[in-house]
Amino acid sequence: MSNASQLRKRQPHDATDPRDTVANAHLNLHASPSNADNLVDAVSQSDVVDDKSPAANDEPKTETNFRKDWLNIVLLIVLYLLQGVPLGLALGSIPFLLKAKLSYAQIAVFSLASYPYSLKLFWSPIVDSLYFKSFGRRKTWIVPIQLIIGSLFLWLGQRVDHYLDDPVPHITGLTWLFFIIVLLSATQDIAVDGWALTLLSKENMSYASSCQTIGLTTGYFLSFTVFLALNSVEFCNAYLRSVPGDQGILSLGGYMQFWASLYFVVTLWLVLFKTEKPDGENDYGIVQTYRTIWDIIRLPHMRTLIIIMLCAKLGFITNESVSGLKLLEKGFHKEDLALTVLVDFPFQIIFGYYTAKWSSGNNPLRPWIYAFVGRLLFSLVGMAVVLYCPVGSISATYFVMVMATTVLSSFMSNVQFVSISVFMTSIADPAIGGTYMTLLNTISNFGGTWPKYFILEAVDYFTQSACSVRDKSGTEFSCTDEAGKQQCSALQGQCVILQDGYYLVNTACVVLGGIIFVAYIMPNIYRLVRMPTREWHLQESPAEPVTKED
């Protein structure tokens, strides 16, 4: 395969949700949180995988030399940061901003914009194989992508505040625009992953995952936590202004236009000052890569693992997708909710170190099983936190409760993340390690992406609400959507929720998740763990070429 195939043994196109990138940033010591298969190298260095594992690394360790590649390391961090910025908007800030004026069903439509980042596997062979040799294998993709994203940011920055003021007629257009932006960011991620192989010297290759961790995490936090705080009137008046104002100091439009200019500056620098050396690699081939992916899927035990990964997150997807939005609906400030994510970050660094050690041994999925049960239980705890959210001001005690719930839920999520990564590393066929791990990570992450649209739709479908006063014709009317709420407010009534679909859907998901866990996941997990490693390998694995740039 291409250079990116080698990198995928450290940094594959695994389609990890950037929200997991933030939540799982503890892996920056060994592997990128966005690319769990970095553990192919990482776990062998930290004795998580037995030396007999196919993923074990017998090569002697080499000393790093930061000064030798410092400029290229900075370039990688900047490129990953430019990926994290639009992802933080699409997956973090904008759904929070939309919740004030849209129903869950309408937010479900916007959630479709995040799907491309979970499906990068399906076009990564194309990005690896098609390019203009004279311009550069990776610059062929990175330069036009950044120009397009910058142009979209510039154009959208002049209109997005208007769209958010009245999002109902613009939700489809916003979804398509951010779908394209996320698709472009995902494609750039594939190209940057591949470029890191030739940008960094052999002794500094371990910096690749750290560059991605720092860049993506920083970009995501800037567009989520920092932006929401600076966009909040309450936060700015309380901490940044001596004279209160009626708007935040940073609008979404201004924020996007600022980053559009940086996209153009970085792209111009790449074109004028950065030359990409040819890698001289013989491509593995697009057709052969897709054929290999299909052969892996057809392995007898792989189908069982795929089913487990696709349905494993059903039990807690409602809690993790909707609970934050419900807190906003009940009066919890969006900047405070974003702050909980920021405070959670150092805890996950600490927890992640011990999680990796806990996942060592003959049964790396034992922590995954324990954490599965914990996430089911905390789905009920999270629901209780929402249920007892105080009306009016939020007390310090309640804020600490939300913080503790967030930290513990993220901890269990990280336990599952590390545990399944270690298991996938131990079963991967080393002859096709990049392709194998990319496939496994894509399926694992898509298991947490595909249900979100349906969950948000279901919450709206099962919610029943009515205005406390009737309309002019004397008819009782629903106020589930924004139009109904405005009509009710105009009549000086209050929207009364008769049945909250969140509690019904979350309870149903927890019950369904428990049934799937007991009836299917538990029996098969123990069977899969006991299988010999050779049963997971293709009988005739085409070796991925390894090349070196002078």
Beta bridge partners, 495, equal: 467
CA–CA–CA angle 363, 5, 216 (5° rounding): 80
List the single range of 7-16, 89-98, 343-352, 379-388 with lowest mean pLDDT: 7-16
User: Is residue 433 domain-resident?
Assistant: yes
Task: Work out the pLDDT band at 410, boundaries 50, 70, 90.
Answer: confident
At 360 the pLDDT is 62
Examine residue 546 and state whether it is found in any structural domain, yes or no. no
Residue 534 DSSP one-character state: G
Is-contact 439 377, C-beta < 8 A? no
Tens of pLDDT, residues 268-279 = 999 998 887 766
202's enclosing H/E stretch is none
Domain span at residue 69 reads 3-463+500-532
Confidence band, pLDDT 50/70/90 cuts, at residue 33: very low
In a domain, 442, yes or no: yes
Q: Which two tokens stand for residue 141?
A: 């993709």
325's CB contacts (< 8 A; 6+ apart) are 95, 96, 99, 104, 107
Residues in the chain: 550
Same domain flag for 256 and 381: yes
Of residues 330 and 52, more confidence is placed in 330
* Tens-digit pLDDT profile for residues 139-156: 999 999 999 999 999 999
Q: Are 188 and 145 a contacting pair, CB within 8 Å? A: yes
CA angle 143, 149, 153 (to 5 degrees): 145
Give 423's contacts (C-beta < 8 A, 6+ positions apart).
Answer: 364, 365, 368, 529
- The single-letter DSSP state of residue 205 is T
In whole angstroms, what is the distance from residue 272 CA to residue 265 CA? 11
Type of residue at 146: Q
Q: Could you tell me if 216 and 334 lie in one domain? A: yes
Are the C-beta atoms of residues 425 and 535 closer than 8 Å to each other?
Answer: no
pTM for the predicted model, two decimal places: 0.77
Using DSSP's 3-state secondary structure scheme, residue 465 falls into strand
Structure tokens at 113: 């914009």
Query: pLDDT tens digit string along 433-469?
Result: 667 877 887 898 899 889 999 999 999 999 988 888 8
Are residue 399 and residue 482 in the same domain, yes or no?
Answer: no
- pLDDT bin (cut points 50, 70, 90) of residue 23 is very low
Residue 277 within any structural domain of the chain: yes
Do residues 122 and 202 share a domain?
yes
Same domain? For 342 and 482 the reply is: no
pLDDT in tens, 373-394: 999 999 999 999 999 988 777 8
Residues 226, 228, 230, 234, CA torsion sign: negative
Is 540 within a domain?
no
122: in domain: yes
For residue 508, being part of any structural domain is answered with: yes
How many angstroms from the chain centroid is the CA of residue 148? 22
Same domain membership, residue 189 and residue 308? yes
- Residue identified by tokens 């269990």 is 412
pLDDT in tens, 336-386: 777 777 777 777 667 766 666 676 666 778 889 999 999 999 999 999 999
Of the listed ranges 2-6, 299-303, 505-509, the one predicted with least confidence = 2-6
381 shares a domain with 237: yes
Do residues 200 and 216 lie in contact, with contact meaning Cβ atoms separated by under 8 Å? no
Q: How many domains would you assign to the chain?
A: 2
Same domain, 423 and 484: no
Q: 338 and 479: one domain?
A: no
Return d(Cα 329, Cα 333) in angstroms, integer.
Answer: 9
132 and 13 together in one domain: yes
CA-CA distances (angstroms) from residue 255 to 228, 230, 231, 258, 336? 11, 10, 10, 5, 20
* pLDDT at position 270: 93
d(CA 498, CA 355): 43
SS3 496: strand
**Whether residues 386 and 476 fall in one domain:** no
Among 386, 452, 440, 422, which Cα is nearest to 529's?
422
**CA angle at 16 for the pair 15 and 17, rounded to the nearest 5°:** 115
CATH value at residue 352: 1.20.1250.20
Residue 548 lies in a domain: no
pLDDT recorded at residue 509: 97
Which pLDDT does position 362 carry in this prediction? 67
Nearby residues of 283 by Cβ (< 8 Å), 6 or more positions away: 1, 2, 128, 129
**How far, CA to CA in Å, does 392 sit from each of 148, 182, 441?**
44, 37, 43
Four-point Cα dihedral 302, 306, 309, 310, nearest 10: 180
- Do 119 and 258 meet the contact criterion of CB atoms below 8 Å apart? no
pLDDT in tens, 70-81: 888 899 999 999
Is pLDDT at 38 greater than 70 in this prediction? no
Q: What is the CA radius of gyration of the chain?
A: 24
* Same domain membership, residue 306 and residue 354: yes
